[in-house]
Amino acid sequence: KRYKAVIGIERSSFMVKAARKRVANLPNVEILEGDGRKDLPKGSFEMVFLGGLCMYLKDADVVALLHSLKHHLSKGGSIILRESTVQQGVSLARGEYQAVYRSVRMYHQLFEDAGLFSVEVRRNYGYTSMVTAEELVNLRRKWLPFLPKDSPALGSLTWWALRVATPISFWALPRLLSLLNIPWPKLQNHFFRLRPVE
C-alpha cells in the first residue's frame, strides 16, 4: 500500500542526516529527529513501523510504547515490528553493542501486556539467509583455521560456494532446523503485525 505521507523519527543526528539525504527527492517523506517513544507528531497514523527498536528497550518500555502507539492509530491501522529474535527465552548482547533478543513467545506476552491486539507473525527469511551465511563462514574459519581468516580470493570462493548451495544452505537448512526445533542460526528475525482488537 502507498501512503500520502510518511514520517520517520530517529534519535541519531547522523542517521537523520543520512535519511534526509536519501529521501530528498520524495516530497511526501519527512524525517524528524527525536525519540519515537515520546516525540510523535499530532494526529493518527494508518501504519506505524518499528524497525529493530524493541530489542533496545526493556520489557516495560516496550509495553508502554505499544500501548501509547495503539492510541495513535487510525481506525483499521496497524503497528508493524521487525525484530531480531531467538528461538527460546531471551538472549542479552553485552559489551559495545547491547540488545535484548526475545523469542516470538516473549513478544506475544509483551503484546498481550500492552492491550488487546490481533497478532500476525512472519519470519524474515532474508535476514535468516544473511545470518546463515555469517555462521557458515565462522564455521569454516573454526574448522579450517589454517586458511587465511580474511582473504579476498577465499572470500569470493566462499561466496560462490554459498550461492551454488543456496537451495540447501539458505532455504532447506533453516526451514528443516526450525521444524526440528534446533536453534540455528542463533539469531533470527520476525515481522509482527499488530492490530488493535475493537
User: Are β-strands 29-33 and 6-10 bridged in parallel, bridged antiparallel, or unpaired?
Assistant: parallel
Q: 179-182: long-range contacts (C-beta < 8 A, 24 or more apart)?
A: 181/87
Which residues are within 8 A (CB) of 73 and not within 5 positions of it... i.e. 6 or more apart? 44, 45, 46, 48, 79, 196
Residues 153, 70: one domain? no
Q: By residue range, what is the domain housing residue 174?
A: 127-179
How far is Cα 31 from Cα 114, in angstroms, rounded to an integer? 27
Partners of 25 in the β-ladder: none
Within a domain: 60 = yes
Q: What are phi and psi of 49, to 5 degrees?
A: -110, 125
Within a domain: 84 = yes
Whole-model pTM: value is: 0.85
Residues 134, 174: one domain? yes
Beta-carbon neighbour count of residue 47 at 10 Å?
15
Residues 169, 192: one domain? no
- The pLDDT value recorded for residue 94 is 82
Residues 173, 150: one domain? yes
- The pLDDT value recorded for residue 193 is 98
Q: Which residues of 78-89 are buried (b: 16+ CB within 10 A; e: fewer)?
A: bbebbbbbbbee
Task: Tell me the pLDDT of the chain (198 aa) as tens digits.
Answer: 688 999 999 999 999 999 999 999 999 999 999 988 887 888 899 999 999 999 999 999 999 999 999 999 999 999 999 999 998 889 998 878 889 999 999 999 999 999 889 999 999 988 888 888 888 888 888 998 998 888 888 888 888 888 888 888 778 887 888 888 887 788 899 999 999 997
Residues 122, 132: one domain? no
